[in-house]
């Protein structure tokens, strides 16, 4: 039995009829520039009152291989209903759901059906996995099912617009009590431990995050907010840095909170900032002019690196905001797995799921998709296999593809 671990849970969209595997050995070289251009503001209370600029351009070659033969998937699953829930891997099963049909659990090795459930699991947000419980959220509430057999464990009425945060056996989400309260929910029972109505309401960011006893969420026209995870009391707020900027994504490395912004005035992006979760103070700010990031960049924090995806991929040092490397050839959303960074990206030869060295940004291999949306090519990856949703000439399906060694 193939060993499976929960490593990443992301979705693929578009039309990907077949994939092509490429090895890390390469014959066609591409150019990647690692360039740092960051403005770092001093942490609160350091007394300097100055900002520092850094620009450290270096060039290095990245390598890819010319396309080889298209490879058939290891297995596919195509129910009658359209699959829309991003897949997650739980132990040795892959869980996904259709838009108006049941959730499904499939054997990760061969794609055979383990169980289905008719619980309310509609929606396009990837579910949250806490040990042996899979929690689906949507505009009608939260539904928890057992990962082993799909039996519904509990359901809570709410209007959830962001992916919930998790700490141990507690979920944190905004949208309870007529869509107006932030709440802490027990994973085992679904009972609400506390709920609070923020003064200005919340909503706008893709995710709620938890770090060091603080729940962080946003109001798109107002600020980033920190709440006490023990009782929901508001601890701090960080106002939107410029007129027209709106927080669009949050991430944490367990020490800091990172926020990125869109700019409704210019149509571009606002700055990338790091905040102290204890008091909301600004630790550093990068890309303040908004010209070096496109609108609505995505954030992923993993293994001492903050990945910022837009028209290229920035790998950022979370301690100071300086860019470690920048790869202009890839621009999808990052999926970290087993010491490798995977990112879907469009190019002259179609859409590619690239494998990158997280230390250098060098391309070490790729899976080639003939037709797909680069921003949608975001599989769940466990060990040596990628699981993704794709649309073919015959309809929608979940497919498992073996990754290059």
Sheet strands (E) in 197-244: 209-211, 214-219, 223-228, 234-239
The answer as to whether 2 is a domain residue is no
pLDDT-derived band at 351 (thresholds 50, 70, 90) equals low
Whole-prediction pTM value? 0.79
- Is 245 domain-assigned? yes
pLDDT tens per residue across span 247-299:
889 999 999 999 988 877 666 677 889 999 999 999 999 876 655 566 567 89
In a domain, 129, yes or no: yes
pLDDT at 80 over 90: no
* Residue 14, in any domain of the structure: no
Give the range of the structural domain holding residue 343, as residue numbers without chain letter. Answer: 19-402
Neighbours of 363 (CB within 10 A): 27
Does some domain include residue 125?
A: yes
pLDDT of residue 35: 37
Judge whether 11 lies within some domain: no
**Total domain count for the chain?**
1
pLDDT digits over 186-224, tens only? 999 999 999 988 877 787 778 899 999 999 999 877 899
Report the chain's terminal Cα–Cα distance, integer Å.
19
pLDDT at 277: 97
d(CA 309, CA 298): 5
**377: in domain:** yes
Please compute the mean of the pLDDT values over residues 162-183 and round it to a whole number. 88
Nearest to 160 by CA among 132, 182, 129, 144: 182
Q: Is residue 12 part of a domain?
A: no
pLDDT digits (tens, 9 = 90+) for 90-141: 999 999 988 776 899 999 999 999 999 887 777 778 899 999 999 998 888 8
The mean of the pLDDT values for the chain is 77
How far is 362 from 29, CA to CA, in rounded Å?
11
Query: What whole-number distance in Å separates Cα of residue 327 and Cα of residue 272?
Result: 18
Q: Comparing 243 with 233, which gets the higher pLDDT?
A: 233
pLDDT of 71 reads 59
Percent of residues, the chain, with pLDDT higher than 90: 38
The pLDDT score that the predictor gives to residue 296 is 67
Average pLDDT over residues 364-368: 79
Specify the pLDDT at position 172: 95
CA distance 83 to 398: 8
CATH number at residue 105: 2.130.10.10
């Amino acid at each position: 039995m193939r060993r499976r671990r929960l490593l990443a849970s992301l979705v693929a969209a578009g039309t990907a009829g077949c994939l092509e595997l490429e090895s890390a050995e390469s014959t066609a070289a591409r150019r990647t520039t690692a360039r740092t251009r960051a403005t770092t503001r001093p942490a609160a209370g350091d007394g300097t009152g100055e900002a520092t600029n850094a620009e450290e351009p270096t060039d290095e070659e990245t390598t890819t291989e010319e396309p080889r033969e298209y490879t058939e998937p290891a297995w596919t699953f195509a129910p009658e209903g359209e699959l829309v829930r991003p897949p997650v891997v739980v132990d040795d099963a892959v869980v996904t759901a259709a838009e108006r049909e049941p959730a499904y659990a499939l054997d990760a090795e061969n794609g055979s059906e383990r169980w289905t459930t008719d619980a309310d699991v509609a929606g396009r947000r990837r579910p949250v996995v806490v040990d042996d419980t899979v929690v689906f959220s949507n505009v009608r509430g939260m539904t928890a099912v057992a990962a082993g057999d799909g039996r519904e464990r509990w359901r809570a009425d709410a209007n959830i617009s962001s992916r919930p945060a998790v700490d141990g056996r507690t979920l944190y989400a905004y949208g309870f009590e007529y869509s107006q309260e932030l709440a802490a929910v027990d994973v085992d029972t679904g009972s609400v431990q506390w709920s609070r109505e923020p003064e200005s309401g919340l909503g706008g960011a893709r995710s709620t995050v938890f770090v060091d006893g603080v729940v962080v969420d946003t109001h798109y026209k107002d600020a980033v907010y920190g709440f006490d995870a023990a009782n929901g009391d508001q601890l701090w707020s960080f106002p939107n840095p410029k007129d027209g900027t709106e927080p669009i994504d949050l991430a944490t490395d367990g020490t800091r909170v990172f926020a990125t912004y869109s700019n409704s005035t210019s149509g571009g992006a606002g700055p990338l900032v790091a905040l102290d979760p204890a008091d909301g103070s600004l630790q550093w700010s990068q890309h303040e002019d908004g010209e070096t990031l496109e609108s609505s960049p995505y954030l992923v924090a993993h293994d001492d690196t903050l990945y910022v995806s837009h028209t290229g991929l920035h790998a950022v040092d979370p301690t100071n905001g300086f860019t470690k490397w920048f790869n202009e050839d890839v621009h999808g959303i990052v999926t970290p797995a087993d010491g490798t960074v995977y990112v879907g990206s469009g190019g002259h030869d179609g859409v590619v799921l690239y494998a990158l060295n997280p230390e250098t940004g060098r391309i070490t291999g790729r899976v080639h998709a003939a037709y797909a949306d680069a921003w949608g090519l975001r599989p769940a990856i466990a060990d040596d296999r990628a699981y993704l949703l794709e649309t073919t000439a015959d309809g929608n399906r979940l497919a498992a593809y073996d990754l290059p060694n």
